[in-house]
Amino acid sequence: MGLSGAELELAASVARADPQAESWGPGYELNVMFLCMHNSCRSQMADGWMRKLRETSPVGVASAGIKDGTVVKEGAIRVMAEVGVDLSSFSSNSLTEFSPERFDVVVSCCACGEHLSGPLQAWKQRKLFLDWSLDGPEKLDPGDYSVYRRVREETREKCAELLALLEEELQS
């Protein structure tokens, strides 16, 4: 037997109020997975933005790497901190730690969708699959964090657009 609407809302509000609580799961009406190859930069920025932008929205969020996770890039942590998003406690996760059936929306942040074949194909078969093809700042930045900042802002815009789309779907 599933949770009632009131129980779902209570679980979601507790999770939003407690930063150590699960950021996704059955306490949310929709769950979004942000993917990159290593879950070290772009998908982490998207995860952080969505957590900040969702406020009271019942949208859960997680991020993972198609290949085993590494560590979150210092440049991503630094430029997100500039806008009040703390990634310092985020960890790099592997996609193998998650089940595609638990997510409604999957976003490839780095055009990694082509790597979702064979046993990973189910990740592309969610309710909504998007491929944002964001530039990899760790490869392009000249050392002044300018590319990190540009990608941070592009990611914020895309997260805001996605959140608006999801909230519209939830209201219909």
The single residue of 41, 109, 110, 159 carrying the catalytic annotation is 110
Tell me the percentage of the chain whose pLDDT exceeds 70.
87
pTM for this predicted structure: 0.86
Q: Is the pLDDT of residue 44 over 60?
A: yes
Per-residue confidence (pLDDT) for residue 69, from 0 to 100: 64
pLDDT digits (tens, 9 = 90+) for 96-125: 999 999 999 999 999 888 889 999 999 999
65 token code pair: 């790497």
Residue-wise DSSP of 66-110: SSPP----HHHHHHHHTTT---TT----BGGGS-GGG-SEEEESS
Per-residue confidence (pLDDT) for residue 2, from 0 to 100: 44
pLDDT digits (tens, 9 = 90+) for 158-169: 999 999 999 999
Q: Is the pLDDT of residue 53 over 60?
A: yes
**CB < 8 Å & 24+ apart, contacts of 138-147:** 138/40, 138/41, 138/73, 138/75, 141/75, 145/75, 145/78, 145/79
Rounded to whole angstroms, the Cα distance separating 94 from 36 reads 10
36 tagged catalytic: yes
For 138, residues 6+ apart whose C-beta sits below 8 A from its C-beta are: 40, 41, 73, 75
pLDDT digits (tens, 9 = 90+) for 59-71: 999 999 998 768 9
What's domain 35-171's architecture? 3-Layer(aba) Sandwich (3.40)
Rounded to whole angstroms, the Cα distance separating 12 from 7 reads 9
The single residue of 36, 41, 109, 159 carrying the catalytic annotation is 36
Region 36-52 average pLDDT: 96
Per the CB < 8 A criterion, the answer to whether 31 and 61 are in contact is yes
